[in-house]
Amino acid sequence: MRIEAYQQAISAQFPDLQIRSISFFREGWANRLCLVNNDLIFRFPVDASSEQQLLLEIRLLSVLAPELPLPIPNYRYVAPASDAYPHAFAGHPLIPGASYPRAPEALRQATWWRPAVGDFLSALHGIPIGKVATVGLQGYLTAEAWRDALAQKHGPYKEHVFPLMPTAQRPAVRRYLSEAIDDERMISFSPVVIHQDFGFHNVLVDLAGERVTGVVDFGSCSIGDPVVDISPEIRPYYGGEIDSGWEFRRDYYIHTSALEDLLYIVTCGHAIPDEEAVRQRKLAEISRIWSA
């Protein structure tokens, strides 16, 4: 779609909103984002699954916001699917700050952002599961259920991802998946509310002021393993439970992250921005991980 089509969709649903300017803001794997009047972000899902994620996220954020120490999106404009746009879409005030899909090494090595991020994730993981269940957040209420869901992905990995990999890499990956999933350390945690896509691509920062300004994109939010949100840099500032299997599972997620991304790309049913380049980058990640 051209930018004019997004503008027409917004105007059709919100005729009182005077659009003085509009531009593409970011193109994600499941959403297209537009910046309106330099102070509003409108999020357009690309398919029905992404639409349902957005509608759940809108309900969820109203529950999370009072519990969290950093700003998160506050959706003030919510439009149903219509002739103007085939899926529900929504808009929220722009949260100041910049995200970094490929964070510079100087930012990764800096320490100023770590306490704020640690406090945020401690608060998020501490939210009672009963609170988020009321708005329909799905997830895994036991570690065993989480582990079983991970195991169910092993078949699709072999079906959809292995054919893209060099034949010589496949036996080691197959053996690792089989052995890791049966290890007792895979179920030594208590499930919590997790962001599940936490990184500098969704953490907003003010580099000049050396401060974290907000967190965005809760579309992957679930109930599950806290390890998926906590990097080694954050761990010293994290107030949640560090169980006996923490490092073992972190190693598992490192080994399977690119497999997971490739599986999504192959099976999602819609185009991904720069898809071929992303595929090659993920295959390079797999090669690096499994050659180490």
Report pLDDT digits (tens) over 234-260: 999 999 999 999 999 999 999 999 999
Topology match between the domains 3-93 and 105-291: no
> Which residues have CB under 8 Å from 132's CB, separation 6+?
60, 63, 64, 193, 223
Place of tokens 């192959």: 266
Say what the pLDDT of residue 32 is.
94
Three-state DSSP class for 142? coil
Instruction: Report d(CA 180, CA 202) in Å as an integer.
Output: 29
- Domain ranges, ordered by start, for the chain: 3-93, 105-291
For residue 209, count CB atoms less than 10 angstroms from its CB and return exposed for 0-12, middle for 13-18, buried for 19 or more. Answer: exposed
76-85 confidence digits (pLDDT tens):
999 999 999 9
Q: Which homologous superfamily is 105-291 in? A: Aminoglycoside phosphotransferase (APH), C-terminal lobe (3.90.1200.10)
Instruction: Report d(CA 84, CA 4) in Å as an integer.
Output: 12
Span 136-144, average pLDDT: 94
Q: Give the confidence band of 292 by pLDDT, cuts at 50, 70, 90.
A: low
Place of tokens 């949260």: 95
State both tokens at 95: 């949260």
**Percent with pLDDT over 70 in the chain:** 100
State both tokens at 37: 């009047």
Backbone angles phi, psi at 100, to 5 degrees: -135, 90
Asked if CATH classification 3.30.200.20 holds for the domain at 3-93, the reply, yes or no, is yes
Say what the pLDDT of residue 9 is.
97
182-231 confidence digits (pLDDT tens):
999 999 999 999 999 999 999 999 999 999 999 999 999 999 999 999 99
Say what the pLDDT of residue 29 is.
80
31-51 confidence digits (pLDDT tens):
999 999 999 999 999 999 999
Gyration radius of the chain's alpha carbons: 20
What is each CA distance from 148 to 91, 172, 224, 249, in whole angstroms?
Answer: 36, 21, 12, 14
Span 46-66, average pLDDT: 95
Say what the pLDDT of residue 1 is.
82
Quote the pTM value. Answer: 0.92
Say what the pLDDT of residue 257 is.
92
Q: Give the confidence band of 268 by pLDDT, cuts at 50, 70, 90.
A: confident
Phi-psi category of 222—alpha, beta or left, where left has phi over 0 and alpha has psi -120 to 50? beta
Span 257-286, average pLDDT: 89
How many Cβ atoms sit within 10 Å of the Cβ of residue 261?
A: 19
**Taking 90 as the threshold, does the pLDDT of residue 113 lie above it?**
yes
